Structure 1
Amino acid sequence: MQEKIYDLVSFQGDRLARKIKNYLDEVFKDESEAILYYKEPDYATPTDILPTFTVCSKKYGIFVFIYYDYTSELLTEINDKFWIIKGNKTKNKILDFQDYCFKLDNDIKMPSNEIYEDIKIHKYVLFPLISSETISVNLKRQNVTLLFEDFNGYKLLKDIPEVNIDNEDWSKMLSVIQKSNILTKETEYIVDTPISNVRDAIAYNNQQISLFDEDQLDASMTITEGAQRIRGLAGSGKTVILSIKAARLHRKYKDAKIIYAFSTQSLYNQVTKLVNKYYSKLTGEKINPDKLEIIHAWGGKYSGPGVYYNICLSNGIKPLTVRDLYGYPDKFEEACNRLLTNNLKQEYDYILVDEAQDMPVSFFKLLEKVTKPPKNIIWAYDDLQTINSTKIPEPKELFGVNNDGSLKVPLLPSNDYILKKSYRNHKDVLMSALAFGFGMYSKNDFVQIIKEKSTWESLGFFVEKGLEFGEETIITRPTENSPNKIDQEFKSLPIVNKYAAVSTSEELEVTAKHINHLIYNELVKPEDIMVVDLQRDSKKRLATLQNYLYSNNILSVMPGLVEGAKDFMRENHVTLTTVRRAKGNEVPIVFVLGCEKIYLANSLYEKRTFRNMLFVAMTRAKGWLYLSGQKDVFNLFQEEVKKMWKDIQDGYYKFDFPTEEDFKSIEKLNLLTLDGERSEKLQNQADQLADILGQSDVSELEMFMDEETLKKLENLILRGKSKE
C-alpha cells in the first residue's frame, strides 16, 4: 500500500494515528495499488472535522477512519442522539463524521465526474484508548463500524465484497480525492475522438490531464515546517502547485500571514483565480486577502501592492521608485539591498515565491529577514527561463549564513521537489525551444549548456553519452516526461509551423490571416491565441497587427503596452505581447514574431539574451506554435531548424559539446550576467570601442597605442577568427 501523508507537522505528533497506520499497513499489505491518505481529502463541514485516514482500494472501494482519544473514565456512553462525557450529555460526534462522509460520497458521485462504478464508502470510528467492555453502546441508525482498543485483531476485509474498480473510474476517483480535477479538468466543453477542428483539439488536450503525477501531488499537498524548493521546466505545473499550497496553508492556518509573490504582473489574475477556485472548493468561501496576499515582488504607489512596497510601509520606510534608482542596471536589486540595511519586523508566517529565477538575490535575503522562524519560505523556479544563467543560487547564497556558519534557511532534501514532466509543451516544442535557447545546432552560437548529468536528468532528460569537452553528446527525452501528445489524435495542424516574409508588413499580414483562419474556420476562441513579438519596436508592430485583426472583427489586447499589465487572456480577445510580459502565462496557440532577431546580435551577451527570449516565447504554447521572421536572415533560422528537426522528432539531441575554451567563456558569461552592473559597464565599454574603431583610421590609431594594448587587440581578433 502506498501512503500519502502531506501534513507532516500533524502526523509527527500524532502517536495514535501512527499506531492505527501500522494496523492498516498490515491489512492492505497485499494491495500494491491501494493508497492511504492522512487527513485527506479536505471538505468544509459545520465542525470542520477531517478523517484520520482515507484508504482507496481498487479491490474493495473507499475506507474512511476517524479516531477519538477519549478514555473510559471520560466517555461512558454512546447512542444515536448523544454521548455522555464526564457525566454530561454531548452531541453524538459520529453525526459530524457522517456529514463528512456524505460530502465525500456526493463529490465522487457528482455526474460531471463521469464515475459509473458504484463505489462504496466503508466508515469506521475508533476508540483506541477504550475497552468495549467498559462503555455502553446503543447505536441503531448509524451506518458505521465502531472499533476499540483491541482494533488490531479486527478482520477488516472479512465481510467486504470485492468491487474491482476499472482503471478509468479508478483514475477519476483518485482525481476527486486528490482534488487535482478542481484546477485542471475542463468541464464546460467536452469532446471525444475523432477530433474535427482545432477548438475541439484544445478542449480534448485539456481533458487529458486531470490527475497529478506523484511529484506534482507531493509538492502541492505537503505541509511541513521550514523551506521548500520546487524545480521544473516550463509547463511542469509550478504555478498550479504553489496556488494549491497557498490555498491549503490558508485553510489550515487561518490567522497566518501568507504572501504569494511573483515577478510578472500578468500572473496576478491567473494566480488569484487558481487560489480562490481551490480554496472555494475546500471551504465554500473566498480567501481573506488580509491574510493571504497575492502580490507582485516590487509594487508601488500606482502599480499596487508588492512585497517590497508593503515591507517599506509596514516598517515606516519610504519606498523607492524606479526614478529614485536611475542609473542602476537592476533597480529592484538595489532597492532591496538598501532596504536590507534597516531593522525590519518579522511579520510573515509563510512566503511563496513564483518565478524565483527572475528575482535578485537581495530579494531573497529580504524575505529571510521578514519571515518568522522556522523560515517557511517556498520558492519555485525554472532553471532554463532565467535570462541570467542556467541555474539560480543555492540556499546558502540566496539567504546567507548565521554567525556560526549555519544556513539561515536550511533546505532538507525531502523538501526539494523536482518536476521532470512538462505537461504544457508538446515534446517537439520543448526540445526545439531548448535547442534554440542553448544554440546546440547553430554554427557558432553555443551560448548556454548544462555540464552536469544530474541536472539534465532532473529536467526529465537522459544522457546517453558525452558531456565531455569537444565530444559528441547524445541526450534523449523519455516520452513519459512529455505527456502532451495531442498530435496523435489531431493531425490536421502541425505542432510547429514556420513562415517567412519579405517585410514587416507582410509578416504581420500573414500572421493576421493565420489568426483569422483559426478563429473563423477552426472555431478557436480568441483568448486561446497569444502573439509574442521579439523585436525592439514591438509596440508599433503589434499595434499594426491589432489594426489588421480589427479589420476582420477580431478584438485584441496589449497588456503592459496599452492596457494594464494584469490584463492577460481577456475573454474574446487575442493577446498581443512581449516576451517579458508573456512569462508565466500559457495559451494553446502561440505566434512568435521576429525570430530572425537571434542572428542579429552584436555580442555573445546579446546572443545569449536573444536566444533565451526565443526559448521563453516558444514555451508559452500548450499546443501549437507558429514561428515567423523576415527572409534572408530568417533563412538562417530555417537552416537551424532543419539541422535539429529529425533528431527532435526522434526524441533526442546529438551535438558536439563545447570545447573547454568555449565552455569557460559560457561560464564567464554566466557570472557576468548575474552581475548586472558589471555587465552594463562592459557593454558600454564595448560600444565605445566599436565607435572609436568605426570613426577612426585604424592605421593612425595604432600610432597612439602601446605594445601591450596592440597585443590584446591582436589576440582578440585572432580568437574571433578562430571561431568563424
Structure 2
Amino acid sequence: MATMIPENISGLSSVTAGEKRVFKLFKELLPDDYIVWYELRVEKRHPDFIIVGPDLGLVVIEVKDWQVGSIVSADKNNYDLKTDIGITINPQKQARKYMWEIINKLKKDSKLIGQSGKSKGQQLIFNYGHGVIFTRIARKSFEKHGLTETIDKEVVIFQDDIKNIEDNKDSNLLKEKIISILPFYFKDNVLKNEHIARIRGNIFKEVKLESDNDTVFKVMNLKQEQYAKGLGYGHRVIRGVAGSGKTIVLTCRAKYLSEVHLDWKILMLCYNTSLAAYLRKIVDTKSHNNIEIKHFHNWINEIFKKVDMESGIYQDEKITNNIFNITDEKLNTLDKYDAILIDEGQDLEEEWLRFIVKMLRNPEHSHLVLASDGAQNLYSRKYTLKSVGIKAKGRTIIMRENYRNTKEILEFSHRFITDDKIHKSFDKEDNDFFIDPKSSLRNGPDPRLIKCSDFHEEINVIANQIKELKALGVDYRDICILYFYGKQLGIIESKMLSNNIYYFPICKSAKNKKMFNYDQDRVKISTIHSAKGLDFKYVFICGIYKGLSKRYNESKKLIYVGMTRAREELRITYSIDSDITRNIIEIAPKTNLELKILKKRLEKDNFKKSQEEAAISKEVEVNKEIQKPKPKRKSILGRIMSIFK
C-alpha cells in the first residue's frame, strides 16, 4: 500500500469521481515504498498526481473524467469540450509541462545529478516521465475517434486498462503500466532515501525543515506531511506528545495554506516569545507575506491599541479583563483572519481562546487549527473546546509517535513523571499524552545525574562539560542550559564568561526572546518555560531548588518538559536534598548515578591509597635500614691507632 498525501480525499467536494478512483487504485496496489501526492491546490500549478518510487523514479499523471462523446475537436495543443470546461490544454501537453517544471527544479540540486559515466554532471540520477489516465474512455473508442494523432498512446492508461487492474487486483500490472509510460527505463537507477527526501523538499518547499548547504537537507517525515495536508478545513485540533512534531505540522500547514490561498490572511499564534522567533525563521514570512506569526501577548496588545484600550500589559488577569471589555462594535472594526493556527494551545486562558475564535472572518466555518500538549500544560488551564467556540468534535488528530528524543531520555523522563505520588493526581488527558518510551525510534547514552556542593559548583561542572563537548566537535548552538528563576542567570552568565564560552541568554530581555536564532553558534541559556517548543542536542538542567517541592505536581511536569527538550543527551546537576532530587536519584540509570559522588569517593580512595603507599614505603625504608649489615667493630688497638692518624 503506497503512502498517499493527503491520506484521504473521499470527503473533498472538488475531487472528480475519476480522481477518487485512481487515488484508490494507487493507494491499494502500488508498493509500500512508493509515495503518491494528490494535488489539492486551487491554483492549477501542479499536476493531479506525482508518483515517486525507488525503482520507478518520478512520474507525473493527469487524470481526465471526459467521455469521448464530449470531445468536439482536438489537436496536439488543445481539446474543445461540450462541457462547461470548453477549450482546455491537451492533457499530455499539460502533464509534460508540469513534468519539465519539476525536473528543471530538481536539476538545480547537485545531489540529484549523476557524478559518473557519460552523463556526469548533466543528467538526473533517476527515471522520469509523464502520462495521462482517461477513466471513461476505452482504448478502441479513443482510436476510433482519431484521437491518437493528438496524444501518444504510449503515455496513456485507458478505462479498460484500469478495469482490468481493478478486477484482478493486480499490483504488478499497475506498476508495469506506469513504468511503460517512461520514455526510458534504467533498472540500475534506484533512488535512496536521502534522494527521495531531496525530491520532496525541492518540489514541496513547505516540507523542508532546514536551509540547504548542499550537505544538510532535512524534511518532515511522511506521516507529518500527511497530517499537514490532510487536515481539512473548519475547526481542527492536533493533540500529541512532546516531540511528535505538532509545531512542524502547523508550520507546514501555514505555508501550504499560504500557497493554496494567495488571498487569505493567515495568523500563527504561540504562547512562547522565543518559539515565535523560531517560527518566523522556518516559515520565512518574507516569502509567505500573507502569514503573520505572533507571540500571544504582543498580538493581543496590538489589538488593544487598535481599539483604544490600555496596552502594554502582560498580567494574565488584566489581559482577560481587557478582552472581556471589547465590545462587538469595536470587534467589528478589526481586520479578521481566514485561518488561525495556534501552537501551545494548552497554555491559553479560556477567555483568550474565545476571543481568538471571534477574530476569524467566519467564526464557525473559517479555518482554525489548535495544537496542544497535555504534558506541557504548565499553567493548569482547564476548559472545554466547545465552551470557547471551537467545534472540532470528530476532527482531532492524535500524534503519539516521538521523533525528538532517544529511548534512554524518554525512559528516564517517563520514570520521573510517573511515580506514585504524582501519578494518582493525573487526569486521563495527562496520562494519554506523556510519551511512551517505546515510541522513540533511536537510542543514545543514558542521562547523567551529577551531585554538587552548591549552585556555583553546578555551573562549574556544566562549563567544564561544555568545553569537553566543544573539544569533541560539538557546536555551541547544539547546547542549552535550562534553569528555573531569574537570579540563577547571573551566576550562569558569569561562569560562561570566565570560561570563554559564547552564549545567548534567551530570557534576559524581551528583545533577546525576539532575537532568538537557533543557528547562532552560542550556547542557549533559558528557563524551562521559555524553552517550550524548542529542542537541542545537548541539554543541561541545573538549579533545582527546595521551593519546587511545594508545587510538587506542577514542578515535576515542568522538569519533565525540560528533560524532553534534549534530543541526544540529557545531563542534570543538583546540590540540594528534596522530594524531587530524591526521586531523580531513585530513577537515575545506575551507571550514571551520582557521578560527582563517585568521583569524590574515587579521589578519597586514591588519597587513602597514596597514604597507604607512603606508609608502606616508609616501612620498607625502615626495614632496609634494619636489614643493612652492621659494620664490624674495630679492635681496641685499631680504635687507638685511628685517633693518632
TM-score > 0.5, shorter chain as reference: yes
* Residue deviations 1:413-434 (CA, integer Å, cap 9, x gap): 2x31111111112233234334
Cα distance, 1:580 vs structure 2 = 2.3
1:552-567 matches, within 5 Å, as 552=500, 554-562=501-509, 564-567=512-515
Q: Verify: 1:369 aligned to 2:367, yes or no.
A: no
Per-residue CA distance 1:107-151 (angstroms, 9 max, x = gap) = 6674536999964345222455675244645358x7962456666
* Within-5 A mapping of 1:174-573: 176-177=199-200, 182-184=207-209, 188=213, 212=221, 214=223, 216-276=224-284, 286-288=287-289, 291-299=290-298, 306=299, 308-313=300-305, 316-322=307-313, 330-339=317-326, 344-345=331-332, 347-371=336-360, 372=362, 373-389=364-380, 393-397=383-387, 399=388, 408-413=389-394, 415-437=395-417, 440=419, 446=422, 449-452=425-428, 456=431, 459=434, 461=436, 477-478=437-438, 481-485=439-443, 487=444, 494-519=445-470, 521-549=471-499, 552=500, 554-562=501-509, 564-568=512-516, 569=518, 571-573=520-522
For the 8 Å contact 1:175–1:181, the answer to whether it is kept is: no
Please, which runs of 5 or more residues in structure 1 have no aligned partner? 191-202, 280-284, 300-305, 400-407, 462-476, 488-493, 650-724
Distance in 1 (alpha carbons) for counterparts of 2:51 and 2:276: 37
**1:515 & 1:171 partners in 2: Cα distance?**
32
The Cα of 1:375 is off from its aligned counterpart by 3.7
What CA deviation, in whole Å up to 9, does each residue of 1:426-447 have, x standing for no partner?
2332343344345x16xxx537
Please say if 1:625 is aligned against 2:570.
Answer: yes
Structure 1 CA distance for aligned equivalents of residues 5 and 19 of structure 2: 14
- State the Cα distance separating 1:387 from its structure 2 match: 1.4
Q: TM-score, normalised by structure 2?
A: 0.74
CA distance in 1, matches of 2:114, 2:237: 35
Q: Which whole-Å CA distance do the structure 2 matches of 1:24 and 1:388 have between them? A: 45
How many Å apart are 1:240 and its aligned residue?
Answer: 0.8
Amino acid at match of 2:95: F
Distance 1:583 1:10, change over 3 A: same
Partner-residue secondary structure (3-state), 2:422: coil
Aligned pair count reads 556
**Structure 1 equivalent of residue 543 of structure 2:** 594
What is the aligned partner in structure 1 of residue 32 from structure 2?
A: 33
Say whether the 8 Å CA contact 1:534–1:614 is kept in structure 2.
no
- SS of 1:560's partner is helix
Which SS does the other structure have where 2:482 is aligned?
strand
* Equivalent residue, structure 2, for 1:13: 13
The answer as to whether partners of 2:540 and 2:572 remain within 8 angstroms in 1 is: yes
SS at match of 1:515: helix
1:528-562 deviation per Cα after TM superposition (whole angstroms, max 9, x unaligned) = 1111112451232233233224xx2x221112314
Give distance in 2, aligned partners of 1:180 and 1:612. 36
Percent of paired sites with the same residue: 18
Check 1:267–1:644 CA distance in 2 against 1; reply closer, same or farther (3 A cut).
Answer: same
1:4 alignment partner, SS class:
strand
1:614-656 Cα distance to aligned partner (Å, 9 max, x none): 22222211111121122x527x66642342246999xxxxxxx
Give the direction of change, closer, same or farther, for the CA distance of 1:167–1:235 in structure 2 (3 Å limit).
Answer: farther
* SS, match of residue 633 in structure 1: coil
CA distance in 1, matches of 2:573, 2:189: 47
* Partner residue in 2 for 1:145: 155
State the Cα distance separating 1:356 from its structure 2 match: 0.9
Query: Secondary structure at the residue paired with 1:499?
Result: strand
Residue in 2 aligned with 1:640? 583
Q: Which residue of 1 aligns with 2:47?
A: 51
Shift of 1:3: 6.2
Q: Which string of whole-angstrom CA distances, capped at 9 and with x for unpartnered residues, describes residues 232-252 of structure 1?
A: 222111111100000001111
Structure 2 runs not aligned, ≥5 long: 116-123, 166-173, 593-645
Q: Partner of 1:490 in structure 2?
A: none
1:338 is displaced (CA, Å) by 3.1
Match of 2:358, SS? helix
How far apart, in 1, do the equivalents of 2:5 and 2:461 lie? Answer: 53
Report the 3-state secondary structure (helix = DSSP H, G, I; strand = E; otherwise coil) of the residue aligned with 1:339.
coil
Do 1:368 and 1:375's aligned partners in 2 also have CA atoms closer than 8 Å?
Answer: no
Note the alpha carbon deviations across 1:336-365, whole angstroms, 9 max, x for none: 333377652372111000111111111110
- Root-mean-square deviation (Å): 4.1
